[in-house]
Amino acid sequence: MKKILLVEDDPFLIDIYQTKLENSGFEVEVAENGEKALELLKEKVFDSMLLDIVLPRIDGWKILEEIKKMKEEKKDLEKMKIIVWSNLGEKEDVKKALSLGVTSYLIKANFTPSEVVREIEKLLK
Ligand SMILES: [Mg+2]
């Protein structure tokens, strides 16, 4: 079973996406803030991470920078597919994300939960 880390602070979205992903056959762990996300990334191995950018205190950008540093010691992070899904959709945001090792960048408003799941399935094939 593929393991997904869902990093999201909106309880409504967590509920929808956790259910949707689990029903699609993924094992899901949720981090509702940046600290929890970094803790889980240190402890466990994930096939993919669905990452919100705007989060309280430690945001998605900071998480991506930390992952870059952690990769030296934790090699499984090289293989983890990172999908940013955010309402930030400026070209600069997308460029910055790609330069930080993100595989795919989805604008929240343009994707339904089913489409996001399909995108994850495609990346993990
Ligand atoms: Mg958010």
> 3-124 sits in which CATH class?
alpha beta
Q: What's the token pair of residue 4? A: 């997904």
Rounded distance from Cα 90 to ligand 1 centre (Å): 16
Centre of ligand 1 from the C-alpha of residue 72, in Å: 28
| Gap from CA of 10 to ligand 1 centroid (Å) | 6
Q: How far is the CA of 11 from the centre of ligand 1 (A)?
A: 10
Q: How many whole angstroms separate alpha carbon 95 and alpha carbon 27?
A: 30
Which residue bears the tokens 């699609």?
24
49-59: pLDDT as tens digits: 999 999 988 99
Ligand 1 centroid – CA 91 distance (Å): 19
Per-residue pLDDT in tens (0 to 9) along the chain, 125 residues: 999 999 999 999 999 999 999 999 999 999 999 999 999 999 999 999 999 999 988 999 999 999 999 999 999 999 999 999 999 889 999 999 999 999 999 999 999 999 999 999 999 98
**What is the per-residue pLDDT for 114?**
93
CA of 14 to the centre of ligand 1 (A): 10
Cα 8 to ligand 1 centre (Å):
6
> What is the pLDDT at residue 57?
85
Per-residue pLDDT tens over the stretch 35-45: 999 999 999 99
Token code pair at residue 106: 């989805």
CA angle 34, 35, 36 (to 5 degrees): 90
**pTM assigned to the model:** 0.95
Kindly list the domain boundaries of the chain, sorted by start residue: 3-124
